[in-house]
C-alpha cells in the first residue's frame, strides 16, 4: 500500500511545521502499526504537544470509527469516521483508511498516514517538545545497522504474520510460516546475549518488534495459524517481550481486549463466527523476566516516562492482570 508521504518537520518543508497543539494523532489500540505511534509519543513525552484520538477496535469496509467517544464523535475533530479527515484533503482518496494518521486540527485534514516515517519524525523533528529525559530512539551512530534490523523485522515478522494469516493456498501459507519462524529463531539468537535489539538501550527497533510480539499468542498463533510455538514457548523472546511490557510506555499502552476484538471480528473471512476467544491467560506478562541480568540501560542517558494521562489509561478490561 502507498501511504501519504507528507511529513511534519521542524523546517516545515512540506507545509506542515512542527507546532505544539496543532496536530492530532488518530490511533487504534488494536492495530500494531498504530500502537507503535502511541508508544513513541508516550516515551518521548509528546502528550502535551500532540493530542490523541482513539478509534474503536473494529471498523467496517469504509473506515475506522470513533465508537469510544460520546455520541461516536471525536471530540476535537467532530468526525464520526476517520475517513472524513482523508476526504477533507483528498476528496477521491482511493486507498484504505488506515491508522495511525495525523490530522491538522486547524482544518480537519489528514496530514500523513505513513506509519514508518511518522515515528522516526516524532524522534527527530519534534525534539523541541520532547520531555526532559526522553530516550534517543533512533541514535545516529546505530542507524545503518538499525535500518537493516528493522527492515528484516518488518518484512519477516510484522508483515510475516499477515502473510500466514491471509495466505490463499496451502503452499503460500507454508512458505510464509517457514519464513516467519526462521526470523523468530534469528531474533531468539540475537537477543540471547543483548538486552535489546540494538544493545543496551531501547530503540525504535524494539518498539516495532514489540507490537507484533504482544499480539502473537492472543491472535497470530491461532487466528493466523502461526502455531509452531507460542511466544510463551520461545524462552528468549518471551523474556524480552515481558521486559518491554513491564517498561512504562509498552504494557500500559497495550489493550488485549481491543486487540482480540479487532482481529476476530473484522476478519470475518478467516473467522466467520466472529467469536472472540476468552484466552490466553495474561498473568504471565507480569512475571519476572530476569533480563536485567544482561545489564543495559533501558532509557540510555534518559529516564522512564511518567504515568499515562488519566484519559489515556488502558481500561481494566484490556489490561494484563494486576500483579
End residue of a domain, out of 129, 155, 188: 129
Domain final residue, candidates 129, 148, 164? 129
CA distance 255 to 245: 12
Report if residue 72 sits inside a domain: yes
Same domain, 73 and 204: no
pLDDT by residue for the chain (323 residues), tens digit each? 689 999 999 999 999 999 999 999 999 999 999 999 999 999 999 999 999 999 999 998 889 999 999 999 999 999 999 999 999 999 999 999 999 999 999 999 999 999 999 999 999 999 999 999 999 999 999 999 999 999 999 999 999 999 999 999 999 999 999 999 999 999 999 999 999 999 999 999 999 999 999 999 999 999 999 999 999 999 999 999 999 999 999 999 999 999 999 999 999 999 999 999 999 999 999 999 999 999 999 999 999 999 999 999 999 888 874 43
- Asked if 3 is an active-site residue, the reply is no
- Residue 311 included in any domain: no
Q: Which pLDDT score is estimated for 323? A: 36
For residue 78, being part of any structural domain is answered with yes
Instruction: Please identify which of the residues 3, 16, 162, 173 carries the catalytic annotation.
Output: 162
Same domain flag for 153 and 291: yes
Residues 229, 102: one domain?
A: no
Q: Are residues 233 and 101 in the same domain?
A: no
Residue 112 sits in a domain whose CATH number is 3.40.30.10
Q: Give the count of alpha carbons within 13 A of 35, CB side only.
A: 28
pTM of the model as a whole:
0.97
d(CA 28, CA 256): 12
Residue 285 lies in a domain: yes
Set 31, 164, 177, 220: catalytic member: 31
For residue 56, count other CB atoms closer than 10 A to its CB.
18
Residue 279, domain CATH = 1.20.1050.10
Assigned domain for 305 exists: no
| Per-residue model confidence (pLDDT) at position 146 | 98
Do 162 and 251 fall into the same domain? yes
Identify whether 300 is part of a domain.
Answer: no
Q: Within 95-138, where are the H helices? A: 115-124
Is residue 322 a part of any domain in this protein?
Answer: no
Sort residue 118 into left (φ over 0), alpha (ψ -120 to 50) or beta.
Answer: alpha
Tell me whether residue 31 is one of the annotated catalytic residues: yes
Domain span holding position 42:
23-129
Task: Name which of 15, 1, 229 is nearest 93 in CA terms.
Answer: 1
Look at residue 286 in the predicted model and tell me its pLDDT.
Answer: 96
Tally of structural domains, the chain: 2
In a domain, 319, yes or no: no
Amino acid at each position: 500500500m502507498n501511504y501519504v508521504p507528507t511529513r511534519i518537520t521542524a523546517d516545515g518543508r512540506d507545509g506542515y511545521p512542527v507546532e505544539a497543539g496543532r496536530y492530532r494523532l488518530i490511533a487504534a489500540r488494536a492495530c500494531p502499526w498504530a500502537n507503535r505511534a502511541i508508544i513513541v509519543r508516550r516515551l518521548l513525552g509528546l502528550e502535551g504537544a500532540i493530542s490523541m484520538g482513539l478509534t474503536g477496535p473494529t471498523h467496517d469496509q469504509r473506515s475506522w470509527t470513533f465508537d469510544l467517544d460520546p455520541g461516536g464523535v471525536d471530540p476535537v475533530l467532530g468526525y464520526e469516521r476517520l475517513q472524513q479527515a482523508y476526504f477533507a484533503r483528498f476528496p477521491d482518496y482511493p486507498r484504505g483508511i488506515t491508522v495511525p494518521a495525523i490530522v491538522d486540527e486547524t482544518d480537519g485534514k489528514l496530514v500523513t498516514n505513513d506509519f514508518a516515517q511518522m515515528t522516526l519524525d516524532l524522534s527527530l523533528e519534534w525534539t523541541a517538545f520532547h520531555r526532559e529525559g526522553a530516550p534517543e530512539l533512533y541514535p545516529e551512530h546505530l542507524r545503518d545497522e538499525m535500518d537493516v534490523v528493522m527492515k528484516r523485522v518488518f518484512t519477516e515478522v510484522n508483515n510475516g504474520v499477515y502473510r500466514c494469516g491471509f495466505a490463499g493456498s496451502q503452499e503460500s501459507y507454508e512458505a510464509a510460516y517457514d519464513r516467519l519462524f526462521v526470523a523468530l529463531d534469528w531474533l531468539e539468537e540475537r537477543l540471547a546475549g543483548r538486552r535489546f535489539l540494538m544493545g543496551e538501550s531501547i530503540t525504535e527497533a524494539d518498539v516495532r518488534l514489540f507490537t507484533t510480539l504482544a499480539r502473537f499468542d492472543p491472535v497470530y498463533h491461532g487466528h493466523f495459524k502461526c502455531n509452531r510455538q507460542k511466544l510463551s514457548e520461545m524462552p528468549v523472546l518471551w523474556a524480552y517481550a515481558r521486559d518491554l511490557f513491564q517498561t512504562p510506555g509498552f504494557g500500559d499502552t497495550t489493550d488485549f481486549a481491543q486487540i482480540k476484538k479487532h482481529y476476530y471480528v473484522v476478519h470475518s473471512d478467516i473467522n466467520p463466527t466472529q467469536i472472540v476467544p476468552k484466552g490466553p491467560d495474561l498473568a504471565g506478562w507480569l512475571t519476572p523476566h530476569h533480563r536485567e541480568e544482561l545489564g543495559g540501560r533501558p532509557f540510555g542517558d534518559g529516564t522512564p516516562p511518567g504515568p499515562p494521562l488519566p484519559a489515556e489509561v488502558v481500561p481494566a478490561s484490556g489490561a494484563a492482570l494486576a500483579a
